[in-house]
A and B are shown apart, each in its own frame.
Chain A
């Protein structure tokens, strides 16, 4: 895979001084490691164990190393998995198209108000995203402020609705994730040396060429991170299909199926197996993606 040539800024930067051998790094990283161990590794093993068990909520679950839970999960839910991947892809592309101009504008033209704009971007996070999604279900309701008005002046037919459609689900997820797309893009765009753009123009590039040959390649680490940060939660989302999709036929995503296994059917092994299948698909996808685009880009950004 050939990569576009980039100016290697590392050669210019001073060499890092090698830290002395001490226990400090271990001590400093121990809170994070402990956190990961207690709240990620142990629950993961617990779920892995659960995913191989057999039984019912009433009779209890027993460890029988039933790997068929996995084949069952895949066989029964392939459609939901494909639908979630498709929705995730649409959300990611839509979010990138929305986010890039915003991040670009803040990074290049934000001036001294950059931090204000970033704060405004984070403002929605002061309200729980479930509440914001529920708010959308009121705004977009059939007789709500938007559709009700359009219907009363005759632009839309009386039966038209947005809620309860795949469009509503995808739009809701995109709305919720756009800030996560903007932030990594902003970080990488903000680091671009403006003199490089000026240099390109000095060499008779048009604004378009300067963007395509200088700015865009330099922002690729940000795009890479933005794609991961957007697509992973998008594929696993289960709130929007419930609140904005109304569980209409054809709207449920894989996260809803997992939620249903745990919270309705109380079939914990099946739910756990399906969660691992989803995780496996996403990890494999992310690794392939990283191979194609170059892993060093994640850390370079």
Chain B
């Protein structure tokens, strides 16, 4: 326990451990809404919650339409809710100054930003705010960060996100990388702007693992019994299992899903598995509960580079490749300060602030120009900091090389009946 980060060091981090991330306000709100939405509407009307069907863009005057945006004023406060280990930190400072890039925004705009690292799972976070979204109430979040996948797609289809104002994102228009412009899951960036992108691969602690882990099969080795972690979300373990089997997840067929499910089931049957994790895997590998685990690239690189006690961590792709995903900023319906939210989102498309994020969190920036700044900073840096920045600047997981890019795979996009088939096949594996 040599000087490990204690949970008390970071209140957000503690909350990050607790599974369902909700502020007290959210709890009260959802309690009220739970009674209201599930209670009165569905009970008295004796019929369920009608799906709203696909929204076909904003109608005139509706939330998110040009007329509506024209009427909006920037409020003086933004609630920004994100995943842990995702924003640049200066741990020598307490308070808002400890997030330098965001602090610069607050200084520049006069808008106060409450930043919460409260999202640990797309599924659970969406489930927690869904009752409020369904009844058209403010969720208490102005910006949320959701991975491309089932939950984001459903939120877009049900009209739970405010269409963004294309006139309020000059930095985005000027600096966004080609890969992040007009993504398949959100044509025209109508609802989303990428926060960061990253990869799902394997992390291991060389203190306990003396081989390079480049396949899931190696994780089944009995010598790691009880110290192997896997992801339990609706996309990652499935996609990585398919990559292991030489299947491209994006174009996979239901028969191939079954093959992946069989592979994942082996982990349940083998006795090597510690358990199925969400973001909590990070604490588990930090506590040395996990020796080898599925992991998200930047989480592990950030730990390795900035915390000496985690210097023995390694992140790798499988021999066959890795999963690539995009975490997206979006504005939930009925948000209190959509203009302020757009200002924050666009702020991070200024290369200098995008570079501050990359230099800390070691994820893939949606702003290519940030790469040059990271490289320049790495060249100019001194001492230990130079090594850290050089490592980030040269990491294929931060600036993907063409060879790695060839082996990066997207999630399967599920439609209609496929969603249920997929969930019925995989979900029982994660809870047994």
Binding site for B on A (CB under 8 A): 38-39, 42-43, 45-47, 49-50, 53, 55-63, 130-131, 134, 137-138, 141-145, 148, 158-161, 163-164, 239, 242-243, 245-252, 256-257, 260, 262-266, 268
Q: Are A264 and B234 in contact (CB under 8 A)?
A: yes
Residue of A whose beta carbon sits closest to that of B43: A46
Q: Are B289 and A164 in contact (CB under 8 A)?
A: yes
Q: Which of A57, A160, A264 gathers the greatest number of chain B CB atoms within 10 Å?
A: A264
Residue of A whose beta carbon sits closest to that of B265: A249
* A161 and B19 in contact, given A43-B39, A247-B232, A248-B273 (Cβ under 8 angstroms): no
* A265 and B423 in contact, given A164-B226, A252-B432 (Cβ under 8 angstroms): yes
Across-interface contacts of B423 in A (CB, < 8 A): 265
Q: Are A141 and B288 in contact (CB under 8 A)?
A: yes
Interface positions, chain B 331-357, Cβ under 8 Å from A, are none
Q: Are B51 and A59 in contact (CB under 8 A)?
A: yes
Q: In the assembled complex, how far is the CB of residue A167 from the closest CB belonging to chain B, in whole angstroms? A: 13
Q: List 22 A-B contacts (CB under 8 A).
A: A42-B39, A47-B38, A49-B46, A50-B38, A53-B42, A57-B130, A62-B50, A63-B47, A131-B14, A134-B7, A138-B287, A142-B288, A144-B287, A158-B208, A164-B289, A246-B274, A246-B275, A246-B276, A260-B430, A263-B123, A264-B124, A266-B130
Q: In the assembled complex, how far is the CB of residue A131 from the closest CB belonging to chain B, in whole angstroms? A: 8
Q: Are A164 and B431 in contact (CB under 8 A)?
A: no
Q: In the assembled complex, how far is the CB of residue B221 from the closest CB belonging to chain A, in whole angstroms? A: 12
Q: Are A242 and B430 in contact (CB under 8 A)?
A: no
Q: Are A55 and B51 in contact (CB under 8 A)?
A: yes
Q: Are B49 and A143 in contact (CB under 8 A)?
A: no
Q: Are B431 and A256 in contact (CB under 8 A)?
A: yes
* Cα A62 to Cα B126 with chains together (Å): 21
* Cα A142 to Cα B290 with chains together (Å): 9
Across-interface contacts of A249 in B (CB, < 8 A): 268-269, 273, 275, 432
Q: Are B287 and A263 in contact (CB under 8 A)?
A: no
* Cα A47 to Cα B50 with chains together (Å): 16
* A58 and B288 in contact, given A42-B35, A63-B46 (Cβ under 8 angstroms): no
* Cα A235 to Cα B86 with chains together (Å): 37
Does B420 belong to the interface (CB within 8 Å)?
yes
Q: Are A242 and B127 in contact (CB under 8 A)?
A: no
A250 contacts which of B35, B420, B432 (Cβ < 8 Å)? B432
Across-interface contacts of B47 in A (CB, < 8 A): 62-63
Give 19 A-B pairs besides A55-B51, A142-B289, A263-B20 with Cβ atoms closer than 8 angstroms. A43-B38, A45-B43, A60-B48, A60-B49, A61-B48, A61-B49, A131-B14, A137-B287, A143-B287, A145-B1, A159-B223, A161-B274, A164-B275, A260-B430, A263-B123, A263-B124, A264-B121, A265-B427, A266-B130
Does B157 belong to the interface (CB within 8 Å)?
yes
* Cα A277 to Cα B233 with chains together (Å): 27
Q: In the assembled complex, how far is the CB of residue A268 from the closest CB belonging to chain B, in whole angstroms? A: 8
Chain B interface extent, by class: 35 or more
* Cα A247 to Cα B121 with chains together (Å): 15
Across-interface contacts of B430 in A (CB, < 8 A): 247, 260
Across-interface contacts of B419 in A (CB, < 8 A): 56, 58
**Contact flags (1/0) for B111-153 with A, using CB distance below 8 Å?**
0000000000101101110100000000000000000000000
Does B388 belong to the interface (CB within 8 Å)?
no
6 residue pairs, one from A and one from B, having the closest CB atoms: A246-B275, A61-B48, A60-B51, A143-B288, A141-B287, A46-B43
* A243 and B19 in contact, given A49-B42, A63-B46, A266-B127 (Cβ under 8 angstroms): yes
* Cα A212 to Cα B235 with chains together (Å): 59
* Cα A61 to Cα B208 with chains together (Å): 49
Residue of B whose beta carbon sits closest to that of A257: B431
Q: Are A144 and B1 in contact (CB under 8 A)?
A: yes
Across-interface contacts of B431 in A (CB, < 8 A): 247, 252, 256-257, 260
Does B67 belong to the interface (CB within 8 Å)?
no
Q: Are A164 and B274 in contact (CB under 8 A)?
A: yes
Across-interface contacts of A145 in B (CB, < 8 A): 1
Interface of chain A: mostly helix, strand, loop or mixed: mixed
* Cα A116 to Cα B287 with chains together (Å): 37
* A246 and B284 in contact, given A138-B7, A263-B127 (Cβ under 8 angstroms): yes
Does B225 belong to the interface (CB within 8 Å)?
yes
Q: Are B276 and A247 in contact (CB under 8 A)?
A: yes
Does B29 belong to the interface (CB within 8 Å)?
no
Q: Are A130 and B35 in contact (CB under 8 A)?
A: no
Across-interface contacts of B40 in A (CB, < 8 A): 42, 46
A46 contacts which of B18, B39, B277, B420 (Cβ < 8 Å)? B39
Q: Are A142 and B227 in contact (CB under 8 A)?
A: yes
Q: Are A247 and B275 in contact (CB under 8 A)?
A: yes
**Contact flags (1/0) for B30-56 with A, using CB distance below 8 Å?**
000011001110110011111110000
B158 contacts which of A58, A61, A161 (Cβ < 8 Å)? A58
Q: In the assembled complex, how far is the CB of residue B236 from the closest CB belonging to chain A, in whole angstroms? A: 13
Q: Are A63 and B289 in contact (CB under 8 A)?
A: no
Across-interface contacts of A53 in B (CB, < 8 A): 42, 48
Across-interface contacts of A268 in B (CB, < 8 A): 38
Across-interface contacts of A257 in B (CB, < 8 A): 431
Residue of B whose beta carbon sits closest to that of A128: B18
Q: Are B19 and A242 in contact (CB under 8 A)?
A: yes
* Cα A38 to Cα B35 with chains together (Å): 9
B289 contacts which of A62, A141, A242, A247 (Cβ < 8 Å)? A141
Across-interface contacts of B427 in A (CB, < 8 A): 260, 264-265
Across-interface contacts of B74 in A (CB, < 8 A): none
Across-interface contacts of B19 in A (CB, < 8 A): 130, 239, 242-243
* Cα A59 to Cα B274 with chains together (Å): 36
Q: Which of B14, B284, B287, B419 gathers the greatest number of chain A CB atoms within 10 Å?
A: B287
* A264 and B123 in contact, given A145-B1, A247-B232 (Cβ under 8 angstroms): yes
Does B379 belong to the interface (CB within 8 Å)?
no
Q: In the assembled complex, how far is the CB of residue B274 from the closest CB belonging to chain A, in whole angstroms? A: 5
Q: In the assembled complex, how far is the CB of residue A245 from the closest CB belonging to chain B, in whole angstroms? A: 7
**Contact flags (1/0) for B245-287 with A, using CB distance below 8 Å?**
0000000000000000000000011000111110000001001
Q: In the assembled complex, how far is the CB of residue A82 from the closest CB belonging to chain B, in whole angstroms? A: 14
Does B154 belong to the interface (CB within 8 Å)?
yes
Does B17 belong to the interface (CB within 8 Å)?
yes
